Chain A
Amino acid sequence: DAGITQSPRHKVTETGTPVTLRCHQTENHRYMYWYRQDPGHGLRLIHYSYGVKDTDKGEVSDGYSVSRSKTEDFLLTLESATSSQTSVYFCAIKGSSTEAFFGQGTRLTVV
């Protein structure tokens, strides 16, 4: 158990509304990641963080922003949700040897 908690676990929201997903970790890991997983695409990196206030874009960052004001929390925000952002979102931390450990995921539906 890597001590990663995602909230909410499920959310349905309307197109155009802002949405924030939270990832909380209890083991002081430096690196944290947000992925989305869609059929036919596998896991794709949205944004990642390598420390407090240090973040960078992944391969599918358009329409998303992140913030990390504390080591333990990494927030993913959809400023104006679109139907194409309907997905399963996973937060992850980096282990001691490059491997990643995942939270349980957030299932987001944009209607």
Chain B
Amino acid sequence: RKEVEQDPGPFNVPEGATVAFNCTYSNSASQSFFWYRQDCRKEPKLLMSVYSSGNEDGRFTAQLNRASQYISLLIRDSKLSDSATYLCVVPKGGSQGNLIFGKGTKLSVKP
């Protein structure tokens, strides 16, 4: 299994739709996980952190399944402004705690 793997998409959805992205990871010892959002030609920005079974922030819900080693991101009531690439991020492990970034899932929300 790759360290972090995501479906690259693109996911093309209409406004108002619910969309879910999955991410699998290989380091079973990882304790914290992150979803980042990256707009075209911009830096990645932290969207959500996931430390236990899941986290919810408004229209966004992140869930963690440790047994199957996957993380999901659910976006409800999609907005045009949600169009971006979503990066799944997992700590590499070890004392330095470096991060491993997935290649990202591209989302395009259409009117």
Residue interface mask A26-38, B partner, CB < 8 A = 1: 0000010101000
Q: Which residues of B contact A40 (CB under 8 A)?
A: 103
Contact yes or no, B43 A104, CB < 8 A: yes
- B contact residues, range: 10 to 19
Number of interface residues of A (CB under 8 A): 25
Contact yes or no, B99 A100, CB < 8 A: yes
Binds B, one of A43-51, A64-72, A76-84: A43-51
CA distance A40 to B49 in the complex (A): 24
Q: How many A-B residue pairs have CB under 8 A?
A: 49
Contact yes or no, A102 B45, CB < 8 A: yes
Q: Which residues of B contact A74 (CB under 8 A)?
A: none
Contact yes or no, B98 A105, CB < 8 A: no
Within 8 A of A (CB), among B52-111: 87, 89, 91, 96-99, 101-104
Contact yes or no, B87 A43, CB < 8 A: yes
Q: Which residues of A contact B45 (CB under 8 A)?
A: 102
Contact yes or no, B44 A99, CB < 8 A: no
Task: Using known A-B contacts A48-B96, A50-B96, A97-B32, determine if residue A43 contacts B43 with beta carbons closer than 8 Å.
Answer: no
Binding site for B on A (CB under 8 A): 31, 33, 35, 40-45, 48, 50, 56, 58, 90, 94-95, 97-105
